[in-house]
Chains A and B, each alone.
Chain A
C-alpha cells in the first residue's frame, strides 16, 4: 500500500491514534451495522435463493410476471420523478439560504429543518386532508370557479409524488446548501470581473461547483424514495402499488418470504447499478477538486 493510500487517525492534540483506540471508537458502530444491516440483508438474499429449495424460481417469478415488473418500474420512475422535482424545487431554496443573512434567512432555514421534527406519518396525513374530495385544495379550486366538480386527488400517483417530494425535500436542500456554502464569495466576484454575466457565472462556476451537493442530495432522496412505505400506502391507489407495499403484502398477508426476499434482491441490484452509473458519470472526485 502506498503512503498516500494509507489511513491515519489522529487525536485532537495531534498524536496518532493507536490501533486499539481506533478499534474502540469504531467498534460500536460497526457492530450495529453488522447485526442490524449486513446480517439481515444477507439473510434475506440467502432466503431468496435457498427456499423452499436452492433455486432461482423466486427471481423468475419477479422478472416474468409483468405485474411485478410494472411495480418495480413504477417504483423506479416515481423515485426518479421525486428526485427531479426535489432538485428543481430545492436548488433555489438552497441557493437563497447560502446567500442570505438575517431574519428571513433564519426563517427559511427553520422552515426547511422543522418538518424533519415531525413524523412522516403526520406529514402524510396532513396531505391526505388537503387532497380529500372536499379538502382544502378542491374547495379552493371550486370557490375560485376553476372547476365545478372536485378532482380526484387522493389515492393517485400524483398525490404520492407530491407528498414524497415534500417529505424528502430537506434531504435535497441541505447537501446542496452545504456545497453552495463552501464556494467562496470571491469565485462569483472573480467570474464577474472576468466578464461573466450573472447567468454565465451561475452556469459556468456556481452550478458545477455545487454538483457534488446535488449528487449526494439526489442519491439520498432517490434511495429513500425507493423504499418509501407510509406515503404510498396512505395516499396511493391500490392499483398503482409501489414495491415497498408489494413486499409488505408478501410478508404480512401472503407470508411468502422467499418471494419478498427476491423482490428486495432485484431492487438491490438495480440500486447498486444506478449508484455506480451515477458516480461514474459525474466523476465525483474530479468535481470535488481532487486530482485523479
Chain B
C-alpha cells in the first residue's frame, strides 16, 4: 500500500525528468528534502555516542559530518538511516518524523564504505533491487537501472558481476543503486575511504556532479578533512558526540569557533598567553615577556583579563621578515623542508614553543639552514585568541 504510493511518485518524477534535456533544467527540478535533527542523543550504557546534537539541513544541501573516530558522526548517520534508534531526540525529513520508522520505509539512498553490492546478483540486478522491492515490473526496472548506470557512466556493465569491477566502479554502481529510486536524501558513510588517492579525487568530482544534477540532499560522513572541505556546502565538526562547529569550509578554516576545531582543521600554531587587559583592544602577555595589543576582533571567545588564553595562527599566514603590519617573532629554525609549492620552516620561539611557517615561492629562500634565527611577522588580522591552554 505505502509502497504502491511511493512507486507512483517515482513514476511521476521520472516523467518530469525525461523532459529535461540539460543539466540546468535538472538542477531546477531540485528534489532534495530538508532534514532537521533535534536534540539527538544516543547512549550505549554509560557512554554517550551522540550527546544533544542539533543540525538543520536545507533542501538540496551537501553537508559533511567530520570528526575523529568515536566522535559520533557515524552514529548520527545510522540514526538517520534507521539502523539505530536514538535514546532521545527526533529526526525529521521535510516535516515527516522518521525517528522510529524502520529503514525500509524511509525511502533514503545510502552508499556504504565497502560498496555492499550483493555478490550473487548482476550489476543490473543490484541497481534494480530497490525498484524490485518497490514492486516495479521487470522491464521497467531494468530500463531505469540501465539509465541510472548511464548516469554514473557505467552503461553496458549491467551483465557483469560485482567482483569483475574495480573498487571505483563498484562504488559508482552503489551510487547508481542509491539514486535509481530517486530518494530525496543520500547518506554516504565514508564512501571513498576504501579507494586509492587518484580514484578518490575522481569520485569526489563524480559525487559533486551528481549532487548538482539531482539536487538531492546529501549527508556525507568522513574523517578526511580535505574531503569535507572540498565537497561540502557546510561541515559539522564533531567531537565526543557534540557538535563543535557547523558552517561553510571558509568559516571553519579562517575562524574556527574553538580550540578543538582550530587544531582539527588544517595546521595551526598555538602559543600560550595571559590576558592582561580587555578594552578597545586586548593586551596579552607572551611567555618571553613581551606584551602585544590585539584588535578586539581577534578574540573568538570572550577574553577575560587575568585568565590564560591561546593565540592561534596558521603557518601560511606567517610572513618572513620584519613588517609593520603585525607582530614580529624570532624563530630558531630546526628544520627546513622543501615541500613543492611552499617551503616548510619549523622552529622554536624563545620559550621553546614550536612554530611552523609555510612560505610560498621557496626558491629564493634556499639560503636558510637549521640553526638560523629567522624573523617572521604575524599579520594582526591573522591572529585568533581562544580561552584556555593548548594541550
| Chain B, residue nearest A198 (CB) | B104
Nearest Cβ on chain A to B13's Cβ, whole angstroms: 16
Contact status of A291 and B163, CB under 8 A, knowing A193-B103, A194-B130, A195-B133: yes
Q: Is A190 an interface residue (CB 8 A)?
A: yes
Q: Is B48 an interface residue (CB 8 A)?
A: no
Residue from A189, A200, A208, A287 within 8 A of B83 (CB atoms): A189
Q: Is A184 an interface residue (CB 8 A)?
A: yes
Nearest Cβ on chain A to B151's Cβ, whole angstroms: 17
Interface centre among B113, B118, B132, B161, by most chain A C-beta atoms within 10 angstroms, is B118
Residues of B within 8 A of A51 (CB): none
Nearest Cβ on chain A to B137's Cβ, whole angstroms: 16
Bound Cα distance A193, B180 (Å): 13
Is the Cβ of A193 less than 8 Å from the Cβ of B114? no
Interface centre among A184, A194, A200, A205, by most chain B C-beta atoms within 10 angstroms, is A194
Bound Cα distance A196, B129 (Å): 9
Nearest Cβ on chain A to B280's Cβ, whole angstroms: 56
| Chain A, residue nearest B78 (CB) | A189
Count of A residues near B, CB < 8 Å? 22
Residues of A within 8 A of B292 (CB): none
Residues of chain B in range 74-114 having any CB-CB distance to chain A below 8 Å: 81-83, 102-104, 106-110, 112-114
Interface centre among B110, B134, B181, by most chain A C-beta atoms within 10 angstroms, is B110
Q: Is A289 an interface residue (CB 8 A)?
A: yes
Is the Cβ of A195 less than 8 Å from the Cβ of B120? no
Residue from B81, B113, B118 within 8 A of A193 (CB atoms): B81
| Chain A, residue nearest B189 (CB) | A186
Is the Cβ of A209 less than 8 Å from the Cβ of B119? yes
Residues of A within 8 A of B108 (CB): 193
Residues of B within 8 A of A194 (CB): 104, 110, 129-130, 133, 177-178, 181
Residues of chain A in range 179-199 having any CB-CB distance to chain B below 8 Å: 184, 186-187, 189-197
Nearest Cβ on chain A to B115's Cβ, whole angstroms: 9
| Chain A, residue nearest B125 (CB) | A204
Bound Cα distance A205, B126 (Å): 11
Contact status of A287 and B120, CB under 8 A, knowing A194-B177, A204-B129: yes
Q: Is B164 an interface residue (CB 8 A)?
A: yes
Residues of B within 8 A of A289 (CB): 119-120, 161-163
Nearest Cβ on chain B to A212's Cβ, whole angstroms: 10
Bound Cα distance A238, B388 (Å): 90
Nearest Cβ on chain B to A274's Cβ, whole angstroms: 24
Residues of A within 8 A of B116 (CB): 184, 186-187, 189-190
Extra contacts besides A186-B114, A205-B118, A289-B119 (19): CB < 8 Å? A184-B116, A186-B116, A190-B110, A190-B116, A191-B118, A191-B129, A192-B103, A193-B82, A193-B187, A194-B177, A194-B178, A195-B104, A195-B181, A196-B133, A197-B104, A197-B133, A208-B120, A209-B120, A289-B162
Interface pairs (29), CB distance under 8 Å:
A184-B116, A186-B112, A187-B118, A189-B83, A189-B103, A189-B116, A190-B116, A191-B129, A192-B82, A192-B104, A193-B82, A193-B83, A193-B103, A193-B110, A194-B104, A194-B129, A194-B177, A194-B178, A194-B181, A195-B104, A195-B130, A195-B134, A195-B181, A197-B133, A286-B120, A287-B120, A289-B119, A289-B162, A289-B163
Taking beta carbons and an 8 Å cutoff, which residues of B are in contact with A? 3, 81-83, 102-104, 106-110, 112-114, 116, 118-120, 129-130, 132-134, 161-164, 177-178, 181, 187
Taking beta carbons and an 8 Å cutoff, which residues of A are in contact with B? 184, 186-187, 189-197, 200, 204-205, 208-209, 286-287, 289-291
